[in-house]
């Protein structure tokens, strides 16, 4: 019981103040998320990806590991192996269910609690790259930024993805400052978990790990390679069991997920290449999915071929579609049209909230550009943050222009935006601070006039007059 007070006693005054503010930011973020969940999403319809995660977790609790929950719940075709999404978020949702909190509302609250932790990690990232003030500002931005908290109440994997990505970015900066075995191991472990939340992170992790390890100037080449090996080993630790499991239970090879194959079909067809929804997706392109013969890997291959055939037949249109996807994700193409589309896809809403999220995004994105420049001038590496924007762009190009795919970049946006905002707050505080009275000795004034020198002759002589 006395361990925590002793730990607090060892902290400096500045550290205690930082953690107090960080706790306040966490409380703010939790309050905002709970208000959105209870006031706006308490009676939401369970469908789409949220239904997939929720019912797959329910099946696991009932003893059926990683089945296709939609085939079970909606098509009523029994239990069949499913891996349309990576496993981490589904496994998280089994925790409240196993504890007796098995309703969708309780899953929503569990996700809100988990998502609030991202506020803390973003604050720690800010502190790592720019000190306590920057960390506090970054944490409060994360607490109120709608594009981070909106996903938590929707019961989507972006909740755990944001947390895992923020954790491996935190340890990327820790390793940059202190390239120890421990920081290399934590970076690798959280990077591996992030891959199991969003499969596209697999493109990012090797590049970032190589850059960090091979530019650690305080290490010899041998030690750099040893640190890189530790990263690779810990990245593989959570991934290999999942991939091995998938390779043994389907008719065709499946690694991280089958979702890419299905997405390839419903984003490469007439409805997503032409007309008002270019760069989006079209559910009609996956019609009769559950009437296809074979297991999920066989059906996924069918739709993969369907999508690739459409791409090959419309290569001249592909550049326009790719630009539309990128523009949609970054809020640069049809941002107002995007609001009802995403409300239909994920349940993002009401419109007041999604408009708030869009306005916040524009403001923070502008600040973030300036923040990256300021960090570069301070000789702080920015490639861990920039790489998150790159991987979000790649995800949109390969799939469609959803704001959800921007989640990795949202972390970078918040951290980078906090840099100029912190500088502004510092300057404002300096201007408002009253001038301090000097506590030292008074400034010397002009020398007092010297008295008229008296010679020996004048001593004892009578005064005149």
Stretches where the chain sits below pLDDT 50 are 445, 449-465
Predicted pLDDT at 439: 53
Predicted pLDDT at 443: 52
Predicted pLDDT at 377: 96
Question: Per this entry, what is the length of the chain?
Answer: 465
Predicted pLDDT at 454: 41
Burial of 287 (0-12, 13-18, 19+ CB in 10 A): exposed
Predicted pLDDT at 14: 84
- List, for residues 284-335, the tens digit of each pLDDT value: 888 778 888 899 999 999 999 999 999 999 999 999 999 999 999 999 999 9
Predicted pLDDT at 148: 95
Report how far residue 379's alpha carbon sits from residue 418's, in angstroms, rounded to the nearest whole number.
17
- List, for residues 120-158, the tens digit of each pLDDT value: 999 999 999 999 999 999 999 999 999 999 999 999 999
**What are phi and psi for residue 78, nearest 5 degrees?**
85, -165
Predicted pLDDT at 15: 87
Predicted pLDDT at 89: 97
pTM as predicted: 0.89
Domain ranges for the chain, please list them. Answer: 14-429
Predicted pLDDT at 458: 38
Collect all residues with Cβ–Cβ distance below 8 Å to 282 and sequence separation of at least 6. 266, 267, 269, 270, 271, 272
Handedness of CA 99, 102, 105, 107 (dihedral sign): positive
**What are phi and psi for residue 81, nearest 5 degrees?**
-55, 135
The answer to whether residues 339 and 354 touch, using CB atoms and an 8 Å cutoff, is yes
């Amino acid at each position: 019981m006395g361990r925590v007070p002793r730990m607090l006693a060892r902290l400096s005054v500045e550290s205690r103040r930082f953690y107090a503010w960080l706790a306040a930011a966490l409380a703010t973020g939790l309050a905002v998320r709970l208000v959105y969940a209870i006031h706006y999403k308490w009676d939401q319809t369970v469908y789409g990806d949220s239904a997939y995660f929720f019912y797959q977790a329910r099946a696991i609790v009932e003893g059926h590991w990683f089945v296709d929950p939609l085939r079970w719940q909606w098509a009523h075709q029994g239990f069949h192996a499913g891996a349309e999404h990576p496993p981490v978020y589904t496994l998280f949702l089994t925790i409240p269910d196993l504890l007796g909190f098995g309703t969708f509302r309780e899953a929503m609250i569990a996700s809100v609690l988990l998502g609030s932790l991202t506020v803390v990690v973003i604050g720690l990232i800010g502190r790592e790259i720019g000190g306590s003030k920057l960390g506090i500002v970054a944490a409060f931005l994360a607490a109120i930024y709608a594009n981070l908290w909106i996903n938590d109440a929707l019961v989507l994997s972006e909740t755990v993805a944001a947390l895992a990505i923020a954790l491996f970015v935190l340890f990327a900066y820790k390793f940059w400052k202190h390239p120890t075995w421990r920081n290399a191991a934590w970076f690798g472990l959280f990077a591996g978990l992030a891959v199991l939340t969003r499969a596209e992170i697999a493109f990012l992790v090797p590049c970032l790990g190589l850059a960090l390890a091979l530019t650690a100037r305080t290490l010899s080449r041998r030690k750099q390679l040893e640190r890189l090996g530790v990263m690779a080993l810990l990245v593989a630790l959570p991934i290999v069991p999942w991939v091995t499991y998938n390779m043994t239970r389907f008719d065709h090879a499946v690694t991280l997920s089958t979702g890419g194959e299905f997405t390839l079909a419903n984003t490469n067809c007439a409805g997503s290449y032409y007309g008002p929804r270019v760069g989006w997706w079209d559910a009609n392109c996956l019609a009769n999915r559950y009437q296809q013969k074979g297991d999920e890997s066989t059906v996924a291959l069918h739709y993969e071929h369907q999508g690739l055939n459409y791409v090959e037949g419309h290569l001249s249109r592909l550049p326009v579609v790719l630009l539309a996807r990128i523009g949609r994700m970054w809020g640069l193409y049809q941002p107002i049209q995007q609001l009802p589309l995403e409300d239909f896809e994920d349940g993002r809403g009401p419109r007041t909230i999604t408009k708030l999220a869009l306005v916040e995004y524009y403001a923070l994105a502008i600040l973030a550009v300036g923040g990256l420049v300021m960090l570069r001038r301070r000789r702080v590496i920015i490639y861990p943050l920039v790489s998150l924007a790159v991987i979000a762009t790649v995800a949109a190009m390969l799939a469609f222009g959803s704001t959800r795919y921007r989640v990795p970049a949202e972390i970078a946006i918040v951290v980078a935006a906090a840099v100029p905002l912190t500088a502004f707050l510092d300057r404002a505080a300096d201007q408002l601070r009253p001038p301090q009275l000097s506590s030292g000795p008074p400034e010397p004034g002009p020398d007092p006039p010297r008295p008229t020198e008296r010679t020996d002759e004048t001593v004892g002589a009578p005064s005149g007059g």
